[in-house]
Amino acid sequence: METTLCIIKPDAVKNGFEDKINEKIISSGLKIIKSKKTFLTEEIARDFYKEHASKPFFNELVEFIISGEVVVQVLEGDNAIKSYRSLMGATNPDEAEEGTLRKLFAESLSKNAVHGSDSIDNAKIEIDYFFQENEICSRTR
């Protein structure tokens, strides 16, 4: 059994898609084992997305992810990482397949509704950000 980190991003929370996204996650066979609504601080966001620090869209990405509430969740299932990434669809919603979360709920490439971990190592690191005793981000609504 594998776990992965899911974030419902500020655009999707503002647009009221939280429940619809979670229905799709559950009907895909994944289990939502932890969930909380929180805000990312700028410091957390810059660290969370540090692999993109040199990209031209980095500041936009950080500004966006801290612009509103997010729902942070741990999903569990067989091949949860790959399975949830395929449910999310392509990063750019214009390229996402029909029925995927980004096709259904994303506004644009930068406001693309959901985040999902991309490897076992990153899933562990990302889950620790939000759901451990020494978690870095513990602010809740």
Q: How far is the CB of 63 from ligand IDP (least distance, A)?
A: 11
Measured from the CB atom, the residue of 107 and 118 that comes closer to Mg ion is 118
Give the residue, chosen from 15, 35, 79, 110, that forms a contact with ligand IDP under the rule CB under 6 A.
110
- The span from the CA of 69 to the CA of 5, in Å, is 16
Choose the contact partner of 73 out of ligand IDP, Mg ion, none; CB within 5 to 8 A by kind. Answer: none
CA gap 22, 30 in Å, rounded = 10
Binding segment (CB under 6 A) for ligand IDP, from list 15-23, 35-43, 75-83, 106-114: 106-114
Judged by CB under 6 A, does residue 118 bind ligand IDP? yes
Burial grade of 61 (CB within 10 A; 0-12, 13-18, 19 or more): middle
User: What Cα–Cα distance (Å) separates residue 7 from each residue in 53, 56, 71, 74, 129?
Assistant: 19, 22, 6, 9, 12
CB-CB contact of 2 with 81 (8 Å): yes
Q: Contact between 46 and ligand IDP (CB under 6 A)?
A: no
* Catalytic status, residue 115: yes
**End-to-end CA separation in angstroms for the chain:** 30
Number of residues that bind ligand IDP (CB under 6 A): 10
Q: Which of 46, 85, 102, 115 is the catalytic position?
A: 115
Nearer to ligand IDP, 61 or 66 (CB): 61
Distance CA 83, CA 131 (A): 21
- Residues 62 to 121 in contact with Mg ion, rule: CB under 5 A: 118
- Residues of this chain that bind ligand IDP (CB under 6 A): 52, 57, 60-61, 91, 109-110, 112, 115, 118
